[in-house]
Amino acid sequence: MRNVIAGGSREMKAEIIAVGTELLLGQIVNTNGPFVAKGLADLGIDVYFEETVGDNDERLRQTVEFAAARSDLIILIGGLGPTKDDLTKQTVAQYLKKPLVEDAAAMSKIRRYYRETKKQMTENNRLQALYIKDSLPLKNTTGFAVGNFYQNPQGADFLLLPGPPSELKPMFEHVAEPLLSKTYFKDHHLFSRVLRFFGIGESLLVTKIADLIDNQTNPTIAPYAKTSEVTLRLTASSQNAAEAEKLLDGMETIIRKRAGKYLYGYGDDNSLVNVVVKLLEKKNLNLAAAESLTAGAFQAVLAEVPGVSNVFSGGVVTYSNEAKELLLDIPNRVLEEKGAVSGETAKLMATSIRNKLKTDIGIAFTGVAGPGELEGNPVGTVWIGIAYKDQPVEARVFHFSNARPFIRERSVLTGLDWLRCKLTK
Amino acid sequence: MRNVIAGGSREMKAEIIAVGTELLLGQIVNTNGPFVAKGLADLGIDVYFEETVGDNDERLRQTVEFAAARSDLIILIGGLGPTKDDLTKQTVAQYLKKPLVEDAAAMSKIRRYYRETKKQMTENNRLQALYIKDSLPLKNTTGFAVGNFYQNPQGADFLLLPGPPSELKPMFEHVAEPLLSKTYFKDHHLFSRVLRFFGIGESLLVTKIADLIDNQTNPTIAPYAKTSEVTLRLTASSQNAAEAEKLLDGMETIIRKRAGKYLYGYGDDNSLVNVVVKLLEKKNLNLAAAESLTAGAFQAVLAEVPGVSNVFSGGVVTYSNEAKELLLDIPNRVLEEKGAVSGETAKLMATSIRNKLKTDIGIAFTGVAGPGELEGNPVGTVWIGIAYKDQPVEARVFHFSNARPFIRERSVLTGLDWLRCKLTK
């Protein structure tokens, strides 16, 4: 649950421009854009456009002009360095018809570095200490190039940030974000809550709450689909946290009535496996797994959670029928008569691994990941078995479509979701 | 550095537009843009601008109009899905003054999916099968939304690709890239060869061949670093395949002299695990695994290769010491005296799983993935054991730095690389 400041004494439309030919060649992925965009969203500043432009003054000038005509705040990232390719400050200064002036503190930091390392300082390094006259130079704690914030009495404001993520991130978090908050917002705040769903597709979920989305005002509702889950971000605008919580609770209650059984958790950084591991810890239960088609993927996903060793002991990967016999004592007769892909086999696997590792719960996966069908079962047929404490062992069959890796991922998540349901019953 | 081309019968300026509010909110990082930009660079198509715009028809229309005025090819990514937010096709169709028509093959694939999974198909799913009239619908092998390629007799061409990377990547590589090559370049052809390296970092590899990179003409050399490997793409421009092969062979020979021992394979879609599985098949050997810190990840990676069941039987995940005793009969004395993270334990694990599953090879992983140290071993200490046919069992220790998921990935790949070396000896 992520709640943060802001709200608008003024509705801000921001635009982010990343500068660098290496971005256009696909040589590096632009992680600065999402980082800054997320920070702005937390502040309640809308980003309507992002652009990437190469190290070319004409195209950069054109992009700045387009942006200035439609946005209130333009954030330029990169191109503040010492080389000939670095043109951002110069181009913006020219657009604003302002000269560049030297930041004495930044300049003395550069001089000190070269003195201390006994390297030769080339003249172009001075460029990094320059900033646009009448703007606020922003201190770079992890590099040399100063940032700039220019409040424009006649048009769009400009924020200039360095390109290396190691310089951008601290400057944005510690200098720019507080500055923007102070400059643009005084009274209102935004509070967000992320609801996470598994087992329902985006289109069906969105259909179920279409009227809520169509009539959204406060809170707003933003759906987002990942590979195997959907999230809804509810965002309330309010003067205080208590009132916002009330607004969010109200909307969540309505959504729960429509799709509550698919809601498995909250938060931006959460996942089904985290929720399951927390439930196991809370109930003081431990788990072992026997995997055929998933071939270790279920256990590997579990082990992504640090400290999982308290609730997870281990298991087997019985990819072949022989392995099912040798490691789990599944009778050859069952494999022959009922099939490796069957409820009987899934149940025996779950029970056997639970007994062998003396755990509270055993979970088993057997099915057809493809490419071809198996024992007459089409690709995507998956049996999951759960032996849960002293309850009778259960098995369920699922039919997943799509490609091989998807079937296995889906099997793992479905097993986790079934466990979650059993643990919350 | 990465330029090429070939018989540019026409100099192409491309522009990439990513569509999706989630990108502007910073909820996801745009990896599609760099992927497509890189592919275009390989083709010799220049990208001058990239934009990101939200799911808003007016702003998307504006962005398309800007782009069409300055670029020859506009690539839109995302917004082809079934929800109300997905506006890309509609907006481009409106700009082109063309209606949308239904792709029968795509529609029947959608219907089949809903029939087979017995889910309810909502009406909005039909949207995914629509394409712009007079454009070429592009088949989506891993999803439902069709792509589009529209050659515009009066202006900029349009390429529409789906947003999920799992759909975009195969569609771009297997459908769009060949189509663009055929459409824009006729007389000269590009021939690429990808060399794949494991166990050497990008900066060291690039240093070893710095002179080749500096003086590249034909073939060109493009290094690319992924999480745990580096590739070099050699691209020759030529009128025929035989001449290109000669150019590529010549360059490969020089590179092999400098870094041949790290070269494990060829091709864009290759991987260490593919190479190992092919070697096992060729030698008619099969494999079993015992995993502690990797917790099934090694076996799950193996099982990503279709048909791996011929060479892979299964194994165990012995996350706890108790599991090592119960599933592999590792004597408690060894675990106490030598430690779970030791050469002795790794050797016993490898031998035990080979014997239990009666395979030719047993491989074992035990180590410290963190967060804390274990038995006095720092995070990143990993022992790998290999019991290879009737050879004496071996164990090696590795020290990986960095975060938990990285240590496990690196362990898996290092195990595969060691196997590869043993299989090629």
Residues B126 and B226 in one domain: no
Please indicate whether residue B370 or residue A355 has the higher confidence score (pLDDT).
A355
Residues A25 and A122 in one domain: yes
Residues B229 and B300 in one domain: no
Residues B140 and B211 in one domain: no
In A91-150, the residues whose Cβ lies within 8 Å of chain B are none
**DSSP characters over A198-253:** ESS-HHHHHHHTHHHHHT--SSEEEEEE-SSEEEEEEEEEESSHHHHHHHHHHHHH
Write the CATH number for B415.
3.90.950.20
Q: Is the peptide bond before A405 cis (omega within 30 degrees of 0)?
A: no
Residues B253 and B333 in one domain: no
Residues A286, A360: contact at Cβ < 8 Å? yes
Evaluated on CA atoms B417, B422, B424, B425, the torsion sign reads: positive
Evaluated on CA atoms B156, B160, B165, B166, the torsion sign reads: negative
Residues B288, B357: contact at Cβ < 8 Å? yes
**What tokens does A376 get?**
């007459």
Which residues of B fall within a CB distance of 8 Å from A317? Answer: 289, 296, 299, 314-317
| pLDDT at res. A233 | 86
Residues B263, B209: contact at Cβ < 8 Å? no
Q: How far is A399 from chain B (nearest CA, A)?
A: 6
**What tokens does A374 get?**
């198996």
Per mean pLDDT, which of B35-39, B183-187, B330-334 is the most reliable? B330-334
Separation CA B251–CA B231 (nearest Å)? 14
The three-point CA angle A331-A336-A337 to 5° equals 100
Separation CA A176–CA A183 (nearest Å)? 10
- For B306, the domain range is 272-423
Write the CATH number for B125.
3.40.980.10
Q: Which of B36, B119, B306 minimises the CB distance to A371?
A: B306
Residues A21 and A64 in one domain: yes
Classify residue B4 by its DSSP letter: -
β-bridge partners, A303: none
Last residue of a domain, one of B152, B184, B216: B184
Separation CA B356–CA B80 (nearest Å)? 51
Which residues of A fall within a CB distance of 8 Å from B271? Answer: none
| Helical (H) or strand (E) element with A194 | strand A189-198
| Helical (H) or strand (E) element with A48 | strand A46-53
User: Does the complex come out with an ipTM higher than 0.85?
Assistant: no
Mean pLDDT of chain B: 91
B357 CB near a chain A CB, below 8 Å? yes
Residues A60 and A118 in one domain: yes
Residues B14, B184: contact at Cβ < 8 Å? no
Reduce the DSSP state of residue B138 to 3 states and report it: strand
Interchain contact, A371 vs B51, CB within 8 Å: no
Domain count, chain B: 3
**What tokens does B128 get?**
């995914």
pLDDT higher than 60, residue B2? no
Last residue of a domain, one of B214, B241, B266: B266
φ/ψ (deg, to 5) at B384: -120, 135
Q: Which of A27, A37, A356 minimises the CB distance to B25?
A: A37
Separation CA A47–CA A321 (nearest Å)? 55
pLDDT in tens, chain A (425 residues): 222 333 434 578 999 999 998 889 887 889 999 999 988 987 889 899 999 999 999 999 999 999 999 999 999 999 998 887 889 999 999 999 999 999 999 999 999 988 887 778 888 889 999 999 999 999 999 899 999 999 999 999 999 999 999 899 999 988 998 899 888 876 667 788 999 999 998 889 999 999 998 888 889 888 877 778 899 989 888 888 899 999 999 999 999 999 999 999 998 779 999 999 999 999 999 999 999 999 999 999 999 998 899 999 999 999 999 999 999 999 999 999 999 999 999 999 999 999 999 999 999 999 998 888 888 899 999 999 999 999 999 999 999 976 777 899 999 999 999 999 999 98
pTM of the complete model: 0.74
Separation CA A114–CA B333 (nearest Å)? 58
| pLDDT at res. A8 | 39
Separation CA B222–CA B234 (nearest Å)? 7
**DSSP characters over B319-372:** -SHHHHHHHH---HHHHHHT-SSSHHHHHHHHHHHHHHHT-SEEEEEEE--SSS
Q: Which of B35, B47, B319 minimises the CB distance to A303?
A: B319
A27 CB near a chain B CB, below 8 Å? yes
Q: Write out pLDDT tens, residues B118-169.
A: 888 888 899 999 999 999 999 999 999 999 999 999 999 999 999 999 999 9
Residues A383, A342: contact at Cβ < 8 Å? yes
pLDDT higher than 70, residue B5? no
Residues A306 and A158 in one domain: no
Q: How far is CA A202 from CA A226, A231, A255, B128, in A?
A: 9, 9, 14, 14
Q: Write out pLDDT tens, residues B376-396.
A: 899 999 999 999 999 999 999
At a CB cut-off of 8 Å and minimum separation 6, what does A144 contact?
A: A82, A106, A109, A110, A113, A125, A128, A129
Interchain contact, B317 vs A320, CB within 8 Å: no
Interchain contact, B405 vs A302, CB within 8 Å: no
Q: Which of A33, A224, A323 minimises the CB distance to B357?
A: A323
Q: Which of A53, A203, A400 minimises the CB distance to B124?
A: A203
**DSSP characters over A112-148:** HHHHHHTPPPPGGGGGGGEEETTSEEE--SSSS--EE
At a CB cut-off of 8 Å and minimum separation 6, what does B275 contact?
A: B264, B265, B420
In A309-348, the residues whose Cβ lies within 8 Å of chain B are 309, 312-320, 322-323, 326-327
Q: Write out pLDDT tens, residues B183-195.
A: 988 666 778 899 9
A2 class by beta-carbon count within 10 Å (0-12 exposed, 13-18 middle, 19+ buried): middle
| pLDDT at res. A402 | 66
Written as one letter, the residue type at A222 is A
**What tokens does B9 get?**
């019968």
Which residues of A fall within a CB distance of 8 Å from B287? Answer: none
**What tokens does A269 get?**
């950084």
Reduce the DSSP state of residue B308 to 3 states and report it: helix
β-bridge partners, B364: B290, B385
Written as one letter, the residue type at B70 is R
Q: How far is A27 from chain B (nearest CA, A)?
A: 7
Percentage with pLDDT > 70 across chain B: 96
Chain A residue with Cα closest to B83 = A203
B65 CB near a chain A CB, below 8 Å? no
Q: Which of A29, A300, A308 minimises the CB distance to B300?
A: A300
Q: Which of A255-259, B68-72, B361-365, B403-407 has the lowest mean pLDDT?
A: B403-407
Chain A residue with Cα closest to B3 = A25
Q: Taking the mean position of all CA atoms in its chain, how far away is CA B422?
A: 25
Q: How far is B245 from chain A (nearest CA, A)?
A: 26
| pLDDT at res. A298 | 98
Which residues of B fall within a CB distance of 8 Å from A50? Answer: 23-24, 51-53
**What tokens does B114 get?**
């809903």
Chain B residue with Cα closest to A36 = B26
Query: Dihedral, CA atoms, A175, A179, A181, A185, nearest 10 degrees?
Result: 180
Look at strands B130-132 and B13-19 and give their pairing: unpaired
A141 class by beta-carbon count within 10 Å (0-12 exposed, 13-18 middle, 19+ buried): exposed
Residues B46 and B152 in one domain: yes
Give the 3-state secondary structure percentages of chain B, helix then strand then coil, rounded to 5.
Answer: 45, 25, 30
φ/ψ (deg, to 5) at A160: -110, 125
Chain B residue with Cα closest to A194 = B27
pLDDT higher than 90, residue B207? no
Reduce the DSSP state of residue A183 to 3 states and report it: helix
| pLDDT at res. B3 | 29
pLDDT higher than 60, residue B291? yes
Residues A285 and A235 in one domain: no
- H and E: helices and strands count for chain B: 16, 17
Residues A371, A350: contact at Cβ < 8 Å? no
| pLDDT at res. A6 | 38
Q: Which of A170-174, A322-326, B290-294, B409-413 has the lowest mean pLDDT?
A: A170-174
Residues A304 and A260 in one domain: no
Is residue A97 left, alpha or beta, with left meaning phi > 0 and alpha meaning psi from -120 to 50? left
Residues B39 and B132 in one domain: yes
Look at strands A157-161 and A229-238 and give their pairing: unpaired
Helices (H), B29-87: 32-43, 57-70
In B222-251, the residues whose Cβ lies within 8 Å of chain A are none
φ/ψ (deg, to 5) at A77: -120, 125
Q: Report the residue of A13, A227, A319 to disrupt the B interface, i.e. the one with the largest count of B CBs within 10 Å.
A: A319
| pLDDT at res. A7 | 40
Write the CATH number for A203.
3.30.70.2860
Last residue of a domain, one of A184, A216, A243: A184
**What tokens does B347 get?**
């050797």
Give the up-direction half-sphere exposure of residue B321: CA atoms within 13 A in the CB hemisphere: 14
Residues B350, B362: contact at Cβ < 8 Å? yes
